Amino acid sequence: MVKKESKRRKIENEANQYSRSNNIIISGISHIEEVVEGKKQFKQFETAEESTKYMVKTLNTKLGFQIATNEIDIAHRLKKGPEGKKDIIVRFQFRLLRNTVLREGRILRQSGIFIREDLTPLNLEVFMSKKRKMTDEVSSVWTRNEVIFYKNVQEQVTRVDFEDYQTWLDLPWPKRPTK
């Protein structure tokens, strides 16, 4: 019975992840500025259309190639993050374009813009567990095509299989240093 439940969760997670395969999440794109009573300020609310156009304009400027607005299905701001900034989730019409933008992540990082794949809550939790729980054994963690990989301190690259998820989730979080 436990094996059946695990298989069901795996299939459910894979289906949920597949439905996100045209998406990326972008951090670091400032909010749209507007002039109110002669003063510049950030807009409190952006429509999805405004966010899409602004995001496309920003990426085109930074990347040096052209993404057309009609190549984006939708883009909008997400809830505020811990620092008050709102990330943008982008759904591309074409996965090939999404992958091209992901590959340009290094160029974008130089200007303070960070992109990542849109992971399911479960995959994101495992990703963060890998990244933060075993810092003495894991040197880096990344995703490619919604699959989590990590490199250990011996430079060996390993794919994280669903069967290993629970092991990583069960590890304790490291203790925060006290002041």
Q: What is the DSSP string of 104-153?
A: THHHHHTTT-EEEE---HHHHHHHHHHHHH-TTTEEEEEEETTEEEEEET
Q: Which domain holds residue 107?
A: 21-118
- 64 and 111 inside one domain: yes
The segments of the chain whose pLDDT lies below 70 read: 1, 81-85, 176-179
pLDDT at 22: 95
Separation of alpha carbons 141 and 116, rounded Å: 12
- 82 and 38 inside one domain: yes
> For residue range 18-64, what is the model confidence (pLDDT) as tens digits?
999 999 999 888 877 777 777 777 777 788 898 899 889 989 998 88
For the entire predicted model, the pTM comes to 0.81
Separation of alpha carbons 127 and 30, rounded Å: 26
- 32 and 107 inside one domain: yes
- 45 and 102 inside one domain: yes
Element holding 10 (H helix, E strand): helix 2-18
Overall domain count for the chain: 2
